[in-house]
């Protein structure tokens, strides 16, 4: 078993701290922004397998999720593959994964399991996550991801310390690997870390939280992390894909762009996003069923930049 800790917040927090320390010298602020921006992001391809073509996403809902919470996440997954107008859309966000080796990738929703009675308790570690993921089985093809989603009552080792989600893999028959992933609802535990910018950040400049696009800070935050982990799993499923830094704590497709939701972002400011005139909700991507989502920026191998949707 191997696990990639994604959403390492350390470098982001460091930037925040650096920023707030330097921001005292107000005349220097514009230069600080430039400094942050010029840090080049290059994800190296390590020549290993990626997940390509049709990719099945299986879900295990661990704990209590209301039907409306589940539909926010299910609609997001369905939106990856469905063109909706006008842009920007979830599917246009996802299309950047086609620029990674292996070409277009088509995710579809597969199996779902409800585990409402916390079969392994409310305090989990990596072994538990892998065990829950394995309940979704292996296959039918190599290209699947077994996703564990934990509710707001579940503590997961290192959740809210330095991670909001992870992905890893297990070795199966004939040396084949299968990918799994986990994301938790941080609503009651650390929204300022894992549901930012829908909650006040735990450190750094105290900007006003944005209104969550589906009215659920915890689950809208899960979508951000699901998007991050999903892109990381597809482009670095077995440690040999695209990443920067050490394989044990890599920066991947989206985690390399942490904190950027729109153009002009800097630590503490998510960047330019759209605002729904009626609800006041912030978003940058439309999905099926008139859904709106706020998606993190993905690194684009074509331009070698973190290029926001807006």
Instruction: Using CB under 6 A, pick the residue from 17, 34, 48, 53 that binds ligand NAG.
Output: 53
CB of 122 to ligand NAG, least distance (A): 12
The CA–CA distances, whole Å, from 218 to 25, 58, 128, 152, 180 equal: 35, 21, 22, 8, 21
And the tokens for 100?
Answer: 């990674």
Residue closer to ligand NAG by CB (options 37, 83) is 83
Q: Which of 234, 227, 286 is nearest to 258 (CA)?
A: 227
Residue 201: phi and psi, rounded to 5, are -65, 150
Residue closer to ligand NAG by CB (options 29, 54) is 54
Residue 71: phi and psi, rounded to 5, are -70, -25
The 3-state DSSP class for residue 76 equals helix
Instruction: Using CB under 6 A, pick the residue from 11, 18, 54, 134 that binds ligand NAG.
Output: 54
Residue closer to ligand NAG by CB (options 10, 125) is 125
In angstroms, the CA 20 to CA 74 distance is 38
CB of 254 to ligand NAG, least distance (A): 24
Residue closer to ligand NAG by CB (options 63, 201) is 63
Residue closer to ligand NAG by CB (options 123, 303) is 123
And the tokens for 177?
Answer: 């690997």
**By CB under 6 A, residue 127 contacts ligand NAG:** yes
**By CB under 6 A, residue 10 contacts ligand NAG:** no
How many chain residues are in contact with ligand NAG, going by CB under 6 A? 7
Residue closer to ligand NAG by CB (options 60, 257) is 60
CB of 125 to ligand NAG, least distance (A): 4
The 3-state DSSP class for residue 92 equals helix
**By CB under 6 A, residue 125 contacts ligand NAG:** yes
Asked whether 177 and 18 are in contact (CB, 8 A), the reply is no
**By CB under 6 A, residue 41 contacts ligand NAG:** no
The DSSP-derived string for 116-130 is: TT-TT-SEE-HHHHH
CB of 143 to ligand NAG, least distance (A): 8
Instruction: Using CB under 6 A, pick the residue from 29, 95, 126, 131 that binds ligand NAG.
Output: 126
Residue closer to ligand NAG by CB (options 53, 205) is 53
* Cβ neighbourhood burial of 232 (10 Å; 0-12, 13-18, 19+): buried
CB of 97 to ligand NAG, least distance (A): 15
Interaction mask 103-122, ligand NAG, x per CB under 6 A: -------------xx-----
And the tokens for 171?
Answer: 């070795």
Query: Terminal CA-to-CA distance of the chain, rounded, Å?
Result: 38
Strands 105-115 and 144-150 turn out to be unpaired
**By CB under 6 A, residue 27 contacts ligand NAG:** no
**Positions that interact with ligand NAG (CB under 6 A):** 53-54, 116-117, 125-127
């Amino acid at each position: 078993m191997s696990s990639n800790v994604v959403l390492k917040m350390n470098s982001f927090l460091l930037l925040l701290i650096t920023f707030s320390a330097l921001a005292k010298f107000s005349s220097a602020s514009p230069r600080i922004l430039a400094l942050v921006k010029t840090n080049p992001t290059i994800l190296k391809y390590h020549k290993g397998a990626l997940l390509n073509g049709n990719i099945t996403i299986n879900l295990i809902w661990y704990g209590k999720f209301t039907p409306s919470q589940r539909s926010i996440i299910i609609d997001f997954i369905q939106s990856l593959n469905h063109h909706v107008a006008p842009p920007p859309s979830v599917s246009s966000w996802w299309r950047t994964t086609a620029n990674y080796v292996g070409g277009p990738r088509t995710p579809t929703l597969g199996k779902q399991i409800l585990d409402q009675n916390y079969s392994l308790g409310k305090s989990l570690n990596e072994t538990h996550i892998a065990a829950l993921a394995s309940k979704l089985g292996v296959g039918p093809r190599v290209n699947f991801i077994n996703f564990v989603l934990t509710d707001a009552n579940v503590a997961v080792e290192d959740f809210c310390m330095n991670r909001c989600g992870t992905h890893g893999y297990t070795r199966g028959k004939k040396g084949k690997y299968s990918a799994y992933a986990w994301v938790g609802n941080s609503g009651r535990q650390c929204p300022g870390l894992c549901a930012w910018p829908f909650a006040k950040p735990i450190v750094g400049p105290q900007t006003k939280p944005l209104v969550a696009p589906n009215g659920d800070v915890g689950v809208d935050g899960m979508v951000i992390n699901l998007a991050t982990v999903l892109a990381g799993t597809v482009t670095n499923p077995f440690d040999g894909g695209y990443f920067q830094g050490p394989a044990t704590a890599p920066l991947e497709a989206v985690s390399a762009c942490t904190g950027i939701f729109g153009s002009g972002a800097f630590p503490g400011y998510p960047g330019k996003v759209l605002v729904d005139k009626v609800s006041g909700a912030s978003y940058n991507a439309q999905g099926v069923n008139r859904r709106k989502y706020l998606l993190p920026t993905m690194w684009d191998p074509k331009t070698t930049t973190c290029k926001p949707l807006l």
